[in-house]
Chain A
Amino acid sequence: MHESNEHGHPHAEISHTERPGYYEIMETAVRELLVEKQLIGAGEIRRQIEVLDSRTPALGAKIVARAWLDPDFKARLLKNGRAGCEELGISFYDDTGLIVLENTEKVHNLIVCTLCSCYPRPVLGLPPDWYKLKPYRSRAVSEPRAVLAEFGTIIPDDVEIRVSDSTSMVRYLVLPRRPEGTEGFTEEQLAALVTRDAMIGVIPANSPAAENAP
């Protein structure tokens, strides 16, 4: 469907002289008609694009790092994910709730949306394509260990895997386990170890040794 390489995507070179495609023309037409009918404001799309651009996994990483450092914050975050994020100044631009799932020695969490592509966008940004495609959506719930192995993550048999299926109203975020060897790390140092994929649950947080490896 889409190429995975960042800059080699053929569509990235679209210039102003190239005619937009059928669906792009449809998008422009629908948007302009809605603005003409005053159902949406002309500047709202641009402002929402700015909001979308401001949401990246760095926000989720900050939440995770704070939870690792502050047990009281972690308790509040696990009780009400959305309120915990808002406490750190991360606003939710939609009506979705957030449940934060803590990985432990006994439980590994994985998130998916089997029906479509529901994802904790306010704290992670937009999901990667693989999260929205059929193989991940269909298999994550029935053979999570095999799926995790394809991401290079081997979960011991005595660790339970819990898969949470997102809905339009309830989204999930995985709180990964704090890596060994991070005693005395600052919040920023810890946040640097937390990747998007770790907060989806397909890999663990990076260990400091791996970060320093050549």
Chain B
Amino acid sequence: MTETRALVERLPNDIGGVKSAPIQQVEHELLPWEKRCHALADVLDFHKIINTEEKRRGVEALGAEMVNALSYYERWIVAFANILFQRRVLTPTEVARKMDEVAARSDDISQAAKA
């Protein structure tokens, strides 16, 4: 019972005061898509489509396994997609089709570049 109690009392993001490792002073320049993802978050907030608090809850709702496995902006974009599905702003099918289109487009560009 005590093992599951911790799961109930603390959601994956709620880690203040938890024992943890020494701090590694890591930082990196954002990749172009990460910066676009950050800008997208701000623009979604400006338009009152997804605010900061909703974004945080969206990340939390991914669950501990995904939160631990995905990088920071990977979590954001997956959370945005999920929230937009729940709001019926986008559908999973639409996003899947568009992702195929984007992937095919970048394959075309890379074929053209190799030719």
Contacts and interface: CB of A to CB of B under 8 A. Distances in A.
B31 interface: yes
B40 A26 contact: no
A33 B74 CA distance: 18
Nearest to A44: B43
Interface string A95-139: 000000000000000001011111000000010111011111111
Categorize the interface residue count of chain B: 35 or more
A70 interface: no
B27 interface: yes
B27 A168 contact: no
A32 B101 CA distance: 11
B103 A6 contact: no
Interface stretch (A9-17, A56-64, A79-87, A179-187): A9-17
B66 interface: no
A32 B73 CA distance: 18
Interface in B39-93: 39-40, 42-47, 49, 51-53, 56, 59, 70-74, 77-78, 80-81, 84, 89-90
A45 interface: yes
Interface centre among B20, B51, B89 (most CB of A within 10 A): B20
A159 interface: no
Contact of A138 (B20, B37, B73, B114): B20
B8 interface: no
Interface in A151-167: 151, 165
